[in-house]
Chain A
Amino acid sequence: MTSMTPAGDFRSSYRADTTIFPTRSSMMATIAGVALLCAAPLVFGRYELGLLITIGFSAIAALGLNILVGFTGQISIGHAAFFGFGAFASALLVEYHVPVPLAIWGAGLMTAVVGLVFGAPAARLKGLYLAIATLAAQFILEDFFARARWFSGGVAGRVTEPYELFGLRLDREETYFYVVLAHVVVMFLAAGNLMRTRDGRALIAVRDHYLSAEMMGVNLAYYRTLSFGIASFFAGVAGALYAHYLLFVSVEAFNILYSIQFLAMIIIGGLGSVMGSMMGAAFMVLLPEVVQAGADLLAGSAIDRTLRLGASISFLREMAIGAAIILFLIFEPDGLAHRWKMIKAYWKLYPFSH
């Protein structure tokens, strides 16, 4: 496969050839997309905006996990615990009178430190063994949340403050949406930049061929651990955004099922794809909504009555999530990002795509 640069797009400088977006039109499309999203609060109701906010912070967390799993080739099944740590950490910082906008980033840094500690075994462990080690991290942190009352408020949970900037309270969906959007843009740009510079390339090199990466001067232990730190930083910021959205953080939310949901997001979206993390998060947040809508439609209909589905309709939701993961693994293992690329290629060559 040669490059996908469209005809007529000639780059006459290295600067033009190293842009973060592959083409000028893709940059315009992204800017237009963000601009359109800025108008979302004018169009959508609170419920839909809530979904968009959920997609936003989920996408940041999923992006962090994708840097770890998709780009570095490590594995973590304890991502939700780091997400939770960020949520509690931000709430704790706010209690010590740190303004919320700073607390979110502070929580990210605190989570990164915790991630580095739990990521230290990653310098030596691989594959299944590392998976089990991160599973341990999940349970240790969950237990810590339940017991450390000074940190998490214990089983009762912790109440926190809404986002406030220059005396403006951004506590309603219509306003908090912009907070999440801004963080999403910053984090996605940061990840995109990381992946086109030295340390990002080193992470991918570690994934693709660690022996030759080492020969190129890449310190494996450093980058494997660093990748945990970065992933945890993203999870922490995402968790903090979650905390200041719900204004209440409780330990039950951050269980292993949530960790697996993050994994599902990056598998469905596309391992090793920055934008895939966003697509996967959107898919995983919207899928239950769509299935629920379908189930509501089905309830009481002719099919329901003939098959006597009754209460089992409500299980459709859980089943659909499982089915989606399996179907993606079989038919689209490279995820939505790859499918999207194929669609673009198809239209570029239309009608001579074969």
Chain B
Amino acid sequence: MKAEAPILAAEGVSLRFGGVRALADVSFEVRPGEIFSIIGPNGAGKTSMVNCISGRYRPTEGRILFDGQDITRTATSRRAALGIGRTFQNLALFGHMTVLDNIMVGRHHLLRTGFVRGMVYWLGGAQREELAHRREVEEIIDFLEIQHVRKAVAGTLSYGLRKRVELARAMALKPKLILLDEPMAGMNLEEKEDMARFIVDLNEELGMTVLMIEHDMGVVMDISHRVMVLDFGRRIAAGSPEEVMADAHVKRAYLGEPDEAAHDDAEHATA
């Protein structure tokens, strides 16, 4: 991978809720075209980090740059147009809409029809625009193999399918960077394999940069280009999957090894 300008950069991001420190001085960079994973024990601040990037939380300190532009204070709803899409840890589909409509909401920032032209569907070009975007949405539906449920109401789908529809909705934004918060949580092996394949495909074929939180170490180590480990809101390691796996801090955080087992800290100090 070339040393390009990072697509996303967090610079000393801290986040406090009252006395609780969710994130403490976290810095990292995501390069264009890579799959970057954040791992860490429960409560390590992974989702808080993603929430800072997507705009749900505003960092107490530090700043976040996307494509070289400071987005720390950009309104959440403006970030879709910049090129940031995301899925949620706990399903966040529009439960009463069909799968198709859910994905069409993802096109929101790309559509130009306001409510007045929407009401006179046939006259103001609304129909033409709808049909053009429908075509692109169908491509995403094909890509994720959810043709059979496109007219189903999202709230009635199985868990694995809902996760897939959420991914479809995020992809419909045409994001440069897609944030996936535990895309494989609660899935069976087969569903996990499918999801891993989709993530690799959308990264390689569609060129979307992926920032992913995931607990399944097998998947993370298999498909990530680089991994960052958080523990108690602090970055304790970052690097290639192999480097991170060998890191003593990481072993301690995950396996609870006693301190003496990590006596060789200095040797493994990471980038």
Contacts and interface: CB of A to CB of B under 8 A. Distances in A.
Interface of A: 1-3, 5, 14-15, 17-18, 20, 190-191, 193-194, 196-202, 204-205, 207-209, 211-220, 226, 230, 272
A201 B101 contact: yes
B93 A197 contact: no
B149 A2 contact: yes
Bin chain B's interface residue count: 35 or more
A202 B105 contact: yes
A227 to B, nearest CB: 10
Contacts of B95: 208-209
Contacts of A3: 98, 151-152
Interface stretch (B28-36, B106-114, B216-224): B106-114
Contact of A214 (B76, B138, B153): B76
B118 A194 contact: yes
Interface string B80-111: 11000110100011111110010011111101
Contacts of B93: 208-209, 212
A217 B109 contact: yes
A219 B105 contact: no
A260 B247 CA distance: 65
A207 B156 CA distance: 17
B134 interface: yes
Contacts of B156: 1
Contact of B126 (A1, A197, A207, A215): A197
B115 A2 contact: no
B23 to A, nearest CB: 20
B121 interface: yes
B119 A218 contact: no
B108 A201 contact: yes
A20 B111 contact: no
Interface string B141-158: 000000001011100100
A198 B97 contact: no
Contacts, number: 127
B117 to A, nearest CB: 8
Nearest to B150: A3
Question: Lowest 3 CB-CB distances: which A-B pairs, in order?
Answer: A217-B80, A3-B151, A197-B118
Given A205-B94, A208-B94, A219-B77, A193 B118 contact: yes
B77 A214 contact: yes
Given A3-B151, A217-B173, A212 B113 contact: no
Contact of B131 (A18, A202, A209, A213): A18
Contacts of A18: 127, 130-131, 134
Contacts of B85: 215
A2 B130 contact: no
17 contacts: A3-B152, A5-B151, A18-B131, A197-B111, A198-B111, A198-B113, A199-B113, A200-B115, A200-B118, A201-B105, A202-B105, A204-B94, A211-B56, A215-B54, A216-B169, A217-B109, A220-B77
B135 interface: yes
A182 B132 CA distance: 32
B120 interface: yes
B92 A209 contact: yes
A235 to B, nearest CB: 16
Contacts of A2: 149, 151-152
A196 B138 CA distance: 17
B77 A201 contact: no
Contacts of B88: 211-212
A15 B75 CA distance: 35
A201 B169 CA distance: 13
A204 B100 CA distance: 14
B173 A216 contact: yes
A321 to B, nearest CB: 28
Given A199-B113, A215-B76, A215-B80, A190 B119 contact: yes
Contacts of B107: 198
Given A1-B156, A3-B151, A208-B94, 7 more contacts: A1-B152, A3-B98, A3-B152, A196-B130, A201-B101, A204-B96, A220-B77
B92 A212 contact: yes
B138 to A, nearest CB: 8
Nearest to B155: A208
Contacts of A1: 152-153, 156
A208 B96 contact: yes
B235 to A, nearest CB: 25
Nearest to A209: B92
Contacts of A197: 111, 113, 115, 117-118, 121, 126, 130
Contact of A216 (B105, B121, B130, B131): B105
Contacts of A220: 77
Nearest to B97: A204
A196 B120 CA distance: 11
A238 B7 CA distance: 52
Contacts of A196: 121, 130
A211 B92 CA distance: 8
Interface in B151-173: 151-153, 156, 169, 173
Contact of A215 (B86, B97, B98, B130): B86
A216 B153 contact: no
A213 B97 CA distance: 13
Nearest to B95: A208
A2 B99 CA distance: 11
Given A193-B126, A196-B130, A216-B173, A208 B77 contact: no
